[in-house]
Chain A
Amino acid sequence: MSPQTRAVENWTLQPLTDFVREASARLVLVLTPSGQVLAQSGFSRAVDVMSAAALAAAIVASTSELARQLRQAPFAALSHQGPKTGFFLSTFMTERGTLAVLAVYDLDVSSLGLVQLFYEQLAAELKSATPRGAVPKQVLAADFERELTDSLNTLFGR
C-alpha cells in the first residue's frame, strides 16, 4: 500500500492503490458528486483535498446541468491537458449512487490513454467492492463540521 493513499471507506482503498500504481497518477480523489471524499492519494494538505473536492463536485454539477439542458445523458468524462500536467474527471454508478474520480497525472510519466484505461478497471473494481445494500449516509448540517474533520483526519492518518 502506498503511504500516501488513504481511505475514509476501506473498500475503496485497494482499487485506488492499484489505480495509482498502474496509471502513475500523481493525485487522485474518489468522491461523491456532493464533494464528500471517500479516498485520496498523493495529497499532503487537508486544504488541498477540500478545494479539489469542491471544485471537482462543482464541475460534475455544472457539466451535468449542461448535459441536461442539451437533453443529453450526463457527460462520461472530462479531460484537460496542460503542457506538463493533465487531469481527468469521470463519474460512474454504484449501488451507493454516483461516484466521481478526479485524477491528476504528469505527462512525463503517464498519459490520458493510460489513465482512461486503468480508470475503467478502477470503476469496475469499485462497483464490485461497493458494500451490498448500503445506503449513502446523509450528512446533516449540524454534523457537517465534525464529519468533515473526521474524514480529513482519516485521509491524512491523524
Chain B
Amino acid sequence: MSKALDLITRVRGVRGAMLVSAEDGLIVAEQLMEGIKGGAVAALAASLAGRLRRAMEAAGTGTSVFWHLQAEQGALLVVPGGDAADGILVVAVAEPDVNIGLVRLELLRAAETVV
C-alpha cells in the first residue's frame, strides 16, 4: 500500500495520497504533507463518490473510473478501486497546476496494485 502511495506522491505538485474506504469515508492508508486535513478530504471524497455513483447509475452512464475536482487552491483526483480493490478510493490531493494526466496514470496504477 505504501509503495502505491509513494509513486503517486512522487509526482511533482502532489501534496498527498490516500486510500479511503468508500463506504465509511475513513482513511485506510495515507501519505500526506503537513497541513492537509486527511480526515476531511477522505470524508469529502467518499461522500462525493457515493453521490456520483448513484447519479451515474441513474443516468445510465456506468461507473466512474476517474474524477477530478478542481478548486481555487488545489485539486482532488480520485480513482475508485477496481474489482480487486472494490470499496477503496485512491485519492490524490494536488496543487492546482499539477500534471493531471501523470497523476491519473499513477492513480490508475495504484488502484490495480493496491490489494
Contacts and interface: CB of A to CB of B under 8 A. Distances in A.
Interface string A112-135: 111011000000000000000000
Contacts of A108: 50, 54
Interface string B23-43: 111100000000000011011
A116 B25 CA distance: 10
A81 interface: yes
Contact-residue size bin, chain B (C-beta under 8 Å from the other chain): 10 to 19
Interface in B33-62: 39-40, 42-43, 46-47, 50, 54
Instruction: Identify the interface centre among A107, A111, A113: most chain B CB within 10 Å of its CB.
Output: A113
Given A117-B39, A117-B40, A111 B54 contact: no
A110 interface: yes
Interface residues of A, number: 10
A70 B80 CA distance: 40
A107 B54 CA distance: 12
B40 to A, nearest CB: 6
A113 B39 contact: yes
A114 B23 CA distance: 11
A108 B43 CA distance: 14
B26 A114 contact: no
A111 B40 contact: no
Give the secondary structure class of B's interface. Answer: helix
Nearest to A86: B24
B39 A116 contact: yes
Interface string A64-92: 00000000000000000100000000000
A111 B46 contact: yes
B50 A116 contact: no
Contacts of A113: 20-21, 24-26, 39, 42-43, 46-47
Contacts of A117: 25, 39-40, 43
A113 B20 CA distance: 10
A102 B46 CA distance: 22
B50 A112 contact: no
A110 B23 CA distance: 9
16 contacts: A108-B50, A111-B23, A111-B24, A111-B47, A113-B20, A113-B21, A113-B25, A113-B39, A113-B42, A113-B43, A113-B47, A114-B43, A114-B46, A114-B47, A116-B26, A116-B43
Give the 3 A-B CB pairs with smallest separation, nearest first.
A113-B25, A113-B43, A111-B25
